[in-house]
């Protein structure tokens, strides 16, 4: 991994066509996400070859540069190279003919772009809830102890107010007024409104100016606030056009609130809930029919979903399922085998490679995947780079997913599965869940390690020291100045 992030940032920006070509930049847990003015000037070959860049993913709207766990340091250096304010905004891609592919890509980009900044808060809240669960299980605190209650409140904060967080993130994505988006989302989780929805759920008729209001619980939801904020971006532009200049300071925000909030309550909110529920129902209907096989398939497919960024599509489904049932038994269990398989495969590469730099990268990536459940450094820095280790991970992920499915493992929270976060799969009512989790984790590392060694891989050659170029041709053979041929390891 590169240590000089200033130099790495400069090289990345140059390969992207210079600072003037960057319209916007954000980052998630492992990736720098660039929106560019002109995609054609990107030197992808140079970008991928940079030491410290694990991979590059390009789409219609973004160029994503995978850095790894130190992405925040690289992001800070990139910010220094760009004009002031560039990183704080999102740029729209150039308009072109609408197709189903572009519509699908746009929806996926909106969902991922909105959810990615929220992942740290979601993981943080999940881990605090897990801590509270462990303290209660171990008898340190009783269920009614104020300390435990407060810990649960801290853990629940990110989920209870998730619509507000989604609205804030989506406001940045859709370039609409942040405070108005937060205020309208706040209506959905206001105590008085929650009480009104509880009465509606019990059969009491609730209307707003004669329009029936559907009984919906918005805490722990994503889709309603996301759809509402997208619509708000258009309402704001329309209201801005119709309001006189002299009244904009007070009339414009009032009209936006009076238009957007009722639409959110009466139409967009319930529609968003139905969409989210429909997606969840589809996913878990497949799970109910295929059983453990669906977890196995997901375990094999997970690295491929991460490569395309489509794994974030499951975030709303996981959150909503845990909120409704208290656990999630398909996607999260599949991640155990997928993440630790990438770690085990990276350990095999570190064991076999003759390249010191690759060994260092593989060891760091293995630690990240196995201990913390962050698999992208192993995926991009090792598996995808060497190809055959990725095949080993897919095989191991399928087998371990099958075992996790047969064991009936389910997650009670949402954090990337790894050694430190494995407690999310412990079921107080089923002590054997601890054995199943431990078994799957060990199996994932062992199977991927052995399979990677059996399949072998094309080792990355070690280049001769550059100082040799300054020596006389008589003292140093010309062959020493070139990279040694790739060596297939077995």
Provide the annotated active-site residues. 28
Phi, psi of 354 (to 5 degrees): -100, 0
Phi, psi of 189 (to 5 degrees): -115, 15
Task: Return the structure tokens found at 225.
Answer: 């606030």
Candidates 242, 342, 255, 353; CA nearest to 299 is: 342
Task: Return the structure tokens found at 463.
Answer: 């280049």
C-alpha dihedral (14, 19, 20, 22), degrees to nearest 10:
100
Q: Please tell me what DSSP assigns to residue 370.
A: I
List all residues 6 or more positions away from 37 whose beta carbon is below 8 Å from its beta carbon: 20, 21, 22, 23, 91
Candidates 295, 302, 439; CA nearest to 369 is: 302
Task: Return the structure tokens found at 273.
Answer: 């809930």
Q: Give the whole-angstrom CA distance, residue 90 versus residue 35.
A: 7
H or E segment at 480? none
Number of Cβ within 10 Å of residue 304's Cβ equals 15
H or E segment at 268? none
Task: Let me know: does 488 contact 456? Beta carbons within 8 Å.
Answer: yes
Candidates 434, 409, 433; CA nearest to 333 is: 409
Q: Give the whole-angstrom CA distance, residue 436 versus residue 443.
A: 10
Alpha helices in 4-70 (DSSP H): 5-15, 44-49
List all residues 6 or more positions away from 217 whose beta carbon is below 8 Å from its beta carbon: 194, 197, 201
Task: Let me know: does 14 contact 47? Beta carbons within 8 Å.
Answer: no
Task: Return the structure tokens found at 91.
Answer: 């740029």
């Amino acid at each position: 991994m590169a240590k000089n992030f200033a130099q790495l940032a400069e090289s990345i920006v140059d390969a992207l066509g210079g600072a003037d070509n960057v319209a916007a930049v954000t980052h998630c847990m492992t990736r720098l996400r660039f929106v560019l003015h002109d995609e054609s000037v990107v030197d992808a070959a140079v970008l991928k070859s940079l030491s410290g860049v694990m991979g590059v993913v390009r789409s219609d709207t973004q160029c994503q540069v995978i850095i790894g766990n130190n992405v925040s340091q690289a992001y800070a250096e990139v910010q220094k190279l760009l004009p002031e304010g560039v990183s704080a905004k999102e740029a729209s891609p150039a308009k072109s003919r609408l197709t189903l592919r572009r519509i699908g890509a746009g929806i996926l980009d909106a969902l991922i772009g909105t959810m990615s900044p929220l992942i740290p808060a979601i993981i943080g809240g999940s881990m605090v809830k897990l801590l509270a669960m462990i303290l209660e299980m171990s008898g340190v605190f009783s269920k009614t102890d104020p300390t435990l209650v407060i810990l649960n409140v801290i853990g629940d904060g990110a989920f209870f107010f998730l619509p507000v967080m989604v609205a804030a993130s989506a406001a940045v994505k859709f370039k609409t007024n942040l405070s108005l988006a937060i205020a309208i989302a706040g209506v959905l989780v206001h105590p008085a409104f929650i009480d009104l929805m509880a009465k509606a759920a019990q059969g009491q008729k609730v209307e707003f100016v004669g329009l029936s209001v559907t009984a919906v619980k918005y805490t722990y939801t994503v889709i309603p606030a996301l759809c509402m904020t997208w619509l708000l971006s258009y309402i704001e532009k329309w209201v801005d056009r119709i309001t006189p200049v002299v009244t904009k300071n007070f009339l414009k925000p009032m009209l936006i609130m009076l238009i957007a909030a009722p639409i959110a309550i009466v139409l967009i909110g319930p529609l968003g809930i139905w969409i989210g529920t429909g997606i969840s129902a589809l996913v878990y209907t497949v799970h109910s029919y295929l059983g453990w096989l669906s977890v196995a398939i997901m375990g094999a497919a997970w690295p491929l979903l991460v490569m395309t960024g489509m794994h974030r599509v499951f975030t709303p489904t996981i959150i909503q399922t845990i909120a409704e049932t208290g656990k999630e038994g398909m996607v999260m269990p599949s991640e155990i085998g997928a993440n630790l398989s990438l770690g085990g495969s990276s350990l095999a590469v570190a064991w076999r490679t003759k390249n010191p730099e690759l060994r260092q990268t593989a060891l760091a990536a293995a630690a990240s995947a196995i201990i913390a459940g962050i698999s992208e450094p192993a995926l991009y820095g090792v598996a995808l780079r060497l190809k055959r280790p990725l095949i080993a991970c897919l095989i191991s992920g399928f087998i371990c997913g099958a075992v996790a499915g047969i064991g009936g493992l389910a997650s009670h929270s949402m954090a990337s599965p790894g050694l430190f976060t494995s407690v999310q799969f412990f079921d107080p009512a089923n002590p054997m869940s601890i054995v199943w989790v431990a078994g799957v984790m060990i199996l994932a590392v062992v199977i991927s390690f052995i399979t990677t060694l059996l399949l072998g891989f094309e080792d990355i050659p070690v280049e001769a020291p550059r100082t040799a170029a300054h020596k006389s041709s008589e003292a140093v053979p010309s062959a020493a100045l070139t990279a040694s041929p790739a060596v297939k390891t077995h």
